[in-house]
């Protein structure tokens, strides 16, 4: 019986490995100035591709969103991920069209 107790106490849980996944940013509410800036950049750059057929539209959209991330960080000091901004853009277009315009 003593061997069982010592055997189980010797086994420790493995140390948690540092995560190698992408860095996650806490989703916080966007200030209205941030939203206005994001919408103006995305509309100016034709993020939705309304002005014509583009070659490699997904690559183009990714580049535009990367520039939005850096612009918002430089202007407002908040680091947001591309995924968060894509979701917010979708919400603005579908749920809040009056804010979009």
Q: Encode the chain (101 residues) as per-residue pLDDT tens digits.
A: 555 555 554 455 455 555 555 566 666 788 889 988 999 999 999 999 989 888 999 999 999 999 999 999 999 998 899 999 999 998 888 886 666 65
Residue 80 lies in a domain: yes
pLDDT of residue 58: 93
pLDDT of residue 93: 84
The model's pTM is 0.68
Residue 22 lies in a domain: no
- Print the domain residue range for 78: 29-100
Per the structure, how many domains does the chain have?
1
Residue 76 lies in a domain: yes
Instruction: Please list the alpha-helical segments (H only) found in the chain.
Output: 2-10, 32-44, 57-76, 82-94, 97-100
**69 token code pair:** 């991330």
Residue 14 lies in a domain: no
Residue 24 lies in a domain: no
């Amino acid at each position: 019986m003593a061997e069982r107790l010592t055997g189980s106490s010797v086994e420790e849980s493995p140390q948690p490995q540092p995560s190698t996944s992408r860095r996650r940013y806490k989703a916080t509410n966007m200030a209205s100035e941030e939203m206005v800036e994001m919408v103006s950049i995305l509309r100016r750059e034709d993020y939705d591709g309304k002005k014509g057929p583009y070659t490699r539209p997904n690559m183009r959209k990714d580049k535009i969103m990367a520039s939005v991330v850096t612009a918002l960080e430089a202007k407002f000091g908040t680091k947001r991920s591309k995924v968060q901004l894509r979701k917010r853009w979708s919400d603005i277009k579908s749920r809040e069209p009056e804010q979009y315009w």
